[in-house]
Structure 1
């Protein structure tokens, strides 16, 4: 089985995230993609984030009707920092007879060598790079060549249109009470959950 893994804060999860997952699944012929909301992010101020339970619940609402896309709480249920290399190792232990594919945006591959133990991520998973027009093919090829000079890495590139929205922008829309505009970028149940819980 070919398993995709898409991690992130998902604060909140929006249609751009889902589109990334679906494009990776389709273009790389994956059997399933797991959306993995971060538990204790090493790179973000948790005081500005919703609880893992709230973000996980929104992820589950967002994918419940999408065939082949699921949610994993492997990071949310962990007490330790949510480093990707640890998550990948956990997936490898659970699915040791399957192929893993870690999905990231092209902006992340640009500094992948600076991540915590990127060689371990590349050891256990292929890397799917979603390029939304930020970088030329030549630049990505040069970047992959550079990474391979440091540690072995197998990169698959997927081109897809950029959806011009971010979780930060969506939070701002809610804080400014622009609900109709925010709703356009969210699954209906995710939108209703945010309104009911007054999350932002």
Structure 2
């Protein structure tokens, strides 16, 4: 199988995230995409995030009726810090006969060499870069060439229309009680869960 892996805080998961997973699956002919909510992220202040269980539940609601997209709690259930290279290696151990593709935004590939052990990510998975009108193809080609001077990496670029929304903006909408505006960007069950649990 060809398996895509999409990680993130998903605080909350929104329609842009789901669209990104769908585009990667369709354009790169993946058999499935696994969405991985971050556990103990080294780059985020956990005190400002809702719990891993809440974020995982929202992710499950967001994709429960979408064929070929599923959720893994591999990071949420771990007591250690969540690093992508560890998650990818764990996924490789779980799916040793399959092809893995790590999905990221073009903004992430721009500083990929500064991630923790990016060469391990590139060793066990190919990279799918979702370019949402952020960078020219020429710029990305040069970036990929540069990365290959540091460590071998196989990158596929998928062009994707930009959806102008972020989890940060959605949280602000809830905090300002602009519920109808926030609802536009969320799965209905995710929206209801946020309201019922008073997450933001």
| TM-score bucket of the superposed structures, by smaller chain | over 0.9
Q: Secondary structure at the match of 2:177?
A: coil
Asked whether 1:107 is paired with 2:107, we answer yes
Report the Cα distance in structure 2 between the residues aligned to 1:107 and 1:5, rounded to whole angstroms: 17
Give the aligned CA root-mean-square deviation in angstroms: 0.2
CA distance in 1: counterparts of 2:108 and 2:154, whole angstroms: 15
Aligned to 1:42: 42
Q: Distance in 2 between matches of 1:189 and 1:165?
A: 19
Q: How many aligned residue pairs are there?
A: 200
Unaligned runs of 5+ in 1: none
Whether 2:18 is the aligned partner of 1:15: answer no
Q: Deviation per CA, 1:25-63: give whole Å up to 9, x if none.
A: 000000000010000000010000010000000000000
TM-score by length of 2: 1.00
Give a deviation string over 1:147-188, Cα, whole Å, max 9, x none: 000000000000010000000000000000000000000000
Query: In structure 2, what is the equivalent of residue 88 of structure 1?
Result: 88
CA distance in structure 2 between the aligned counterparts of 1:102 and 1:172, rounded to whole angstroms: 29
For the residue of structure 2 that corresponds to 1:107, the secondary structure is: helix
| Partner of residue 153, structure 2 | 153
> For residue 172 of structure 2, what is the aligned residue in structure 1?
172
Distance 1:32 1:82 in 2: 22
Q: Distance in 1 between matches of 2:40 and 2:189?
A: 25
Q: Give unpaired runs (5+ residues) of structure 2.
A: none
CA distance in 2: counterparts of 1:199 and 1:49, whole angstroms: 9
SS of structure 1 residue aligned to 2:158: strand
Matches of 1:37 and 1:162, distance apart in 2: 22
Which residue in the other structure is 2:58 paired with? 58
